[in-house]
Amino acid sequence: MQISARRHDKTTIFDVSGDIDFANSPEVRQAVLCEIRESRMARVIVNLRQVRYIDSSGVASLIEGLKASRDLGSRFILIGLSTSAREVLQLSRLIKVFEIYDNEEQALAA
Amino acid sequence: MLAVYSNPRWLSVVRAAVERLTETLGFPAMQCRSITRAVDEALTNIVRHCYGNRLDQPIALYFRSAKRCQQGEIESGLEILLCDRGRAFNLNTLLGRPLEQIRPGGLGLHWIRQAMDTVEFTRKGLTNQLRLVKYFARTSIAP
């Protein structure tokens, strides 16, 4: 799993690739939470286009990111969900809880 | 049979094996993903709760065919047995969190139960056994 961040206007975009599972979800959690709390950007976008698998600990990290964003009044957006990632959010009844777009252009325009 | 250690880096190896196995057996793509997810979550539970995140403890996974007869029809399927020698961690008595609550944690159990037809925990001596079964669509018995 790899995670990198870039900034665009008042937005931080995380590009994640590989599987997110119990072995590496703490890394995702830490990166996302640090950025939300320290940079105070208006928007945080997590690009999951290159993520083929996400387990419950990965979903938990995204929930923590969402909650931290809400606490600070910023937006937390997911883009590029794979079939598998979409399935787990649906199974967990979270698909309507997150702000989700197909791609970066849509998320930046929203 | 697959024998691995309780190091999370083995999770991706087991997922790959289970995904290939379920594809080869002919499960639909969605069920291949859900069975793989169930095994992954069960393994993660063993690592976290039975072994307390110790990395060097043994976990064995056995795969075999399963059959049951229901209302005159034979169902065949895949049985997966996960065995560890950690603390007893009884999935039968755990509920997972209500899905209405939006908070981290407790999702893995839901995914396991949603994916599998049978989820049974037993403790035999010092060994925890988690039995997961998924059946294929039914086929009628020839008269």
Q: What is the mean pLDDT of residues A90-97?
A: 92
For B2-138, give the CATH class: alpha beta
Quote the ipTM score. Answer: 0.92
Residue of chain B whose alpha carbon sits nearest to that of A61? B104
pLDDT value of position A13: 96
Residue A87 in contact with partner chain B when CB distance is under 8 A: yes
CB of A44 closer than 8 Å to CB of A12: yes
Residue A96 in contact with partner chain B when CB distance is under 8 A: no
Q: Output phi, psi for B50, to 5 deg.
A: -80, -40
Tell me which chain B residues have a C-beta less than 8 angstroms from the C-beta of A60.
Answer: 104-105, 107
Q: Can you say how many angstroms the Cα of residue B32 is from the centroid of all Cα atoms in its chain?
A: 12
Q: List, for chain B, all residue ranges whose pLDDT scores fall below the cut of 70.
A: 90-105, 138-143
pLDDT value of position B137: 76
Q: What count of Cα atoms within 13 Å lies in the side-chain half-sphere of residue B29?
A: 3
A29-48 pLDDT, tens digit per residue, is 999 999 999 988 999 999 99
Q: What global pTM score does this model have?
A: 0.91
The residues near B134 (Cβ < 8 Å, ≥ 6 apart) are B27, B31, B35, B77, B78, B115, B116, B117
A41-74 pLDDT, tens digit per residue, is 999 999 999 999 999 999 999 999 999 999 999 9
Residue A19 in contact with partner chain B when CB distance is under 8 A: yes
Q: Give the span between the Cα atoms of A3 and A22, in whole angstroms.
A: 15
Q: What tokens does B1 get?
A: 């049979």
Amino acid residing at B102: I
Domain architecture of chain A: domains with CATH: 2-109 (3.30.750.24)
Distance of residue A96 Cα from the nearest chain B Cα, in angstroms: 11
Averaged pLDDT score across all residues of chain A: 95
Q: Give the span between the Cα atoms of B28 and B33, in whole angstroms.
A: 9
